[in-house]
Structure 1
Amino acid sequence: MSHVAIIGCGIVGAAIAYELSSVPGLQVTVLDRQPPAQGSTGAALGVLMGVISQKVKGRTWQLRQASMQRYETLIPELEILTGHHIPFNRQGILMLAFENDDLDSWQNLVKIRQSQGWQLEIWNTAQVQSHCPQLNPEKIIGAIYSPDDRQVEPTALTHALIAAAQQKGVMFKFGVGVEGVESMPVNGSNRRYAAQIHTHRETLTVDWLVIAAGLGSAQLVNFLLSPPDQASAITLTPVLGQALQLRLAGTIGNPDFQPVITGDDVHIVPIGGGDYWVGATVEFPHRGEVVAEPGLLEQVKQDAIAFCPALAQATVVRTWLGKRPRPERQPAPVIGKLSGYDNVLLATGHYRNGVLLAPATAQEIQRIICAT
């Protein structure tokens, strides 16, 4: 048996554990200082903007497409295995266009998506009003509707992934932090091999180490690169996001058509009945610190009310926030082998697309391990 240790159990770490649980000959252990889905996963809205993304080629599109395809099989697969209900909105995403937007520029993307086997539609104002009468038509000049995009409840999905992986023999250890990693040179070369993980409870001998710890990944990576290797080190900037849950007496608009509605980077996410998630802010650190600004969350709420006036009557049920890991000096996400190591894999730095890209990330980690 080859022992794979995964550090971090947000949506990415849990997805990797589940995919690896089906590989014969692997023993998988997941470690996390906190309970699952406590970091950026717990703060995410779960809006899966794949087809409606402007990414059309290369790695960024390939990851999105792989994830969208996997989600269609993953959700029913997990629900059958675990008996858990995973809220999964299959009614698509409606992206609103306003006065300064150029709807004609979307025509090319529609053609590209059709050639790739995906559907996108450009709606005029009459179509928007017909399908979503709750929207304020004053500034809306049309919309792009993506019926193939989805939204999933991130925490419920993470717990289902864990439950399914546990059924297949994966060991999860929460409240356990990594205090050190012991490595050794490979055949006298400059390359190294992570051999043991030290926690306050035990020492684990490993064949593979997967770092999927979100913002905590940078500290682990830089520890492994001792003495420091500036070319291989990673820097993850915390970008804070705030969101809120609003409650109305009942569903607004057409109860049979409740897609995610997004406009000017503000999402309105129906979660059942008269409840809606609204978010999220994008707040960068100032002088090294990132502190939630209440005024920015209020602005997001007012922006949502501007194009969906019924939300003005809603009660705020709760607010929440989280920090997303944004890589510096390299594109997001960071997936692949850590430079200088034969058996350390990175699966981190997903920034705002951790939930979207978790399935494809898990498939890529599985591919690397199985190919070796």
Structure 2
Amino acid sequence: MSFPPIRPELAGIEPYGAPQLPVDEVPVQLNVNENPYGPSDACIHDIAAAAADAARTLNRYPDREFVALRTALASYLSGEVLGEIVAEQVWAANGSNEVMLQLLQAFGGPGRTAVSFAPTYSMYPEYARDTNTHWVVGKRADDFSLDLEHALRVVAEHSPDVILLPSPNNPTGTALPLESITALCEAVAGAPGSPTGIVVVDEAYGEFRRTGVPSALDLLPTHRNLVVTRTMSKAFAAAGLRLGYLAADPAICDAIRVVRLPYHLSAVTQATALAALQHAPELLGNVDQLRAQRDKTVAWLRDQGLEVADSDANFCLFGTFGDRHAVWQGLVDRGVLIRETGPDGWLRVSIGTPEEMAAFEDALVEVMKEMS
């Protein structure tokens, strides 16, 4: 018997994670879809003050229900919808990764099935594995849009308890039409008022969507089995904060309470997130600039004769290359780190500052010339 006595299905598996290389060796880091613009001095000051206040009570457990934070998140989301989202509809955890894991803990598990459609976020099958949920993956269309007819066939065949739908999709950046979300919510609904499966629309990159592209938040009043997840890691420029959240029917939030660990959100996390939300207009102020830079990057890549997926996120998937790893390595050798992910032959670049994108473009031109 080998040591340690890990579960057999986990033996030999490498931990998930994008390559992390020292900034002094690879100064242009465009591989994990971070916001390149940090918080202002005023925001930093308020976060520091909030953390200091929280530190005064660290001998006590934090608010287990984090009511103030849920109220603030609900207020923020209400600015995107015609109606109102209330605190009882909101749940939060340490990054949207923990939100997703909690959803699979509550609604997946042994004897239950989760479905998504590839290419999609590579952590989804890991959430399923970690919760002993049966994993089924369908496929997307050639342009990476969701093939609704195929998706409905997969749902009819497997009767999933959870459907995971990133919109915009990672790694392709493709957004979903509301009609597709509605069709899938209806496909896993049971008797009226008693859905038998939930549909999770992962909007981690939702704030970057192009003008006119709707959010699934608009469908919450219509579908009790719909969950919309968000994060403060991307548009809010708070990847180091680790705060993800969801909006859903209050009954779904109540169900998650059963599986969440006690006091899972620290007092410092709650205080920091609340302080950051007070600076939402400022933190989101660079979103328009990043969207413009994304569209410019898409156009530039296409001008180089490359294929590029339409993107509503803060990254672009581009290709195709006979040896994408050689391209990736060539960029690293020139001080630029992007992500080797997605279908064979494709690469993904996060959108950085204009200076970072210029460095990426110069490096890619050199690599492509070298390989031609």
TM-score by length of 2: 0.26
TM-score calculated relative to the size of structure 1: 0.26
Which structure has more helix as a fraction of its residues?
Answer: 2
